[in-house]
Structure 1
Amino acid sequence: MSSTTTGAVVVGVDGQLPAALALDWAIAEAQRTKAPLHLVNARMLPLRGPTVETGFAVHTAESDEILAAATDRAHTLAPGLHITRAAGYGNAAALLVEESRDASCLVVGARGRSPLGSLLLGSTSLDVAAHSRCPVVVVRDRPHQLPDGPGVVVGSDGSEVSEAAIAAGFEEADRLGVPLTVVHAWFLDSQGTGLAALETEDTRQVVAEEEDAVASEAVVGWSEKYPDVKVRQRVLRTHPVEALVDLSRQAELVVVGSRGRGGFSGLLLGSVSQGVLHHAHCPVMVVRSDGGA
């Protein structure tokens, strides 16, 4: 059973730098939303030694030390914040997902750059993003606070889960006091399909008009609910991952749906959300149409 206070911001902490960045983001989010902060230290089972009980029944000196340091950090950055804690052995992703049941969002860190300079997402972060019962924020780097930047960036494709992502994007932009950039990226990929001859100028024009209409429809009504949020729309003819990752260089947050148009119903994470999670330069929030991630 989850030990999370209803509506809490849950964050995984392990004493490492990626988790420290996630902790700072979670503290700020809890402060913005006036929500409790729930610290979770989920540890993998030891390969050797005595058998221990899995779940949140076991505390160790190391986990207590990690949770105490995270608590001190939270009290320093946000005095008066209500904090709860949990620690246990087991599959780290499974334990974090369990704690997400009653949470407002779940925040985790990600691996940094590999020696080759590529961006890699840890398996725990990816599993949490796929299975969490609430929106997930994966924090790799600190957000860039540029006055003329894109603010919160949200991917839009007209799907139901895209609508949920736009809703979350407006809410986060309003909390942060930054603009919202709604990105609708599309491209025609007929290479190797035998349909390249159909990609004429007329075809491109028709598709472009249809995509413009989808992009415009996606934000209808939201500005009335969030009148203080400045909205920018970008309709780009490029791959969605490329567009979102490029804008993430100067963004506070990128929001994506778990999967969009063309996604198979059995997939928990689509190719776009996975691509953005692996390569974005700022925190990424993943949501699904039922409110989870």
Structure 2
Amino acid sequence: MTRPDRRRVRTLALALAGLAVVGAAVVAVALNGRGGSGPSYVALGDSYTAGPLIPRQVASSGLCERSTQGWAEQVARAIDASSFTNASCPGASPANVTGAQVLGAETHAPQVDSVHPSTRLVTISLGANDQHVFTGLIEGCASVAATDPQGSPCRDHFVSGGDDTVADKLRQTRAQVVSAVQAVQAKAPDAAVVLVGYPRIVPAQGTCEALPFAAGDYAYVDRWEHGLNAALASAAAGTGTAYVDTYDGSAGHDACAGAAAWITGKDGTATSASYHPNLAGMTGVAKIVDTYLQDHGLAGR
């Protein structure tokens, strides 16, 4: 197994990590060694926020593998945040906003512990790992592709008797996200809370070696991502918070887009985990989020 392969397996294994009770603190930092003029900002999220393997990794983040070039880190610099805390961690689900997360020998405190009454901006990008859907679906679709390369064996596996088990889980995801938002609102009632969706993974048309799915399963995975983002948008509407759509803005940058891809495919690298955003993806998402914050007057609270 090559080094990138070992890292890919490690990253996917982290997505299956369980929950625990005792927590370890996440330290807030002042950007550039000083407080900026922008809001006090806290980012909650999973690996799509943390940026595992993307240089430079924050040594103190341990197995949470946060990058200094993750989209939330870039947004914090763009808005000149007076303070910034990144509580994101690979494998995190909405339940980890209020419940601790165990990764190997490390126990990470509930992400909401990083939010304080003085916090003025909180971004939340969670949901893909709820009930282990992301890993189960992506790995599952890849593992069964050879059984019917031109069909949809993955969809056939998850849809039984007309019941789509993945869609059923997404309904629960919405409720989990609503609970997470409410926990944040309770701790920081004056903060602007912004839910951030996931960027496009599969192309609108065609297939590619980077995504080893059966031809008919590309549409199924895309339908799942639409459902996930719809659940986040609905949770935002139900809690009176904002929602940033990164799916439409990442059109043409899916994992099959070659040099223009924002998402790395199955073959992870030393600087990007498989099926995760690369540096270009983090920068692209950061620009979308920053533009939204600026346009809606949320960057200078």
Q: Is this a same-fold pair by TM over 0.5? A: no
TM-score, normalised relative to structure 2: 0.32
Structure with more strand by fraction: 1
TM-score, normalised relative to structure 1: 0.33
